Amino acid sequence: MAEIHSRKIKEHKLDTVLADDISFCGELSFTRELMIKGKFEGQIKAQGDLYIDEHADVTAEIGARSIHVRGRVRGNVIAESQVELMGNAEVIGDITAPKIIMETGCRFEGVSRMVPAEDSLEK
């Protein structure tokens, strides 16, 4: 798993990157790591880790193994492992995960629920 906490993610270590000039609307599913740098609208159902870059704009219901946010997310976020909001992240929606990390400076508007790993994706 790539590490995003307190430093920039190395894109070349990720399996897939949706570049900053991509605007995508629909349903996205994947089993490995993915980074969104552009705009996405729809639904994300993933077994892999999701990285949302600092200039990304995501409007979606999101379910993934772990979710690391540096950009903007509007919609509910459900992670099997953890959700991490970096200092410049903005999340408007509910968060459900066994582990939630919020760095100083992030903006979160919603309800957070910390549930055991086996229960998080059932919500």
Stronger pLDDT, 3 or 36, i.e. the higher one:
36
Stretch (H or E) spanning 112: strand 112-114
Contact between 71 and 91 under an 8 Å Cβ cutoff? The reply is no
pLDDT for 54-76, tens place per residue? 999 999 999 999 999 999 999 99
Predicted TM-score of the model (pTM): 0.84
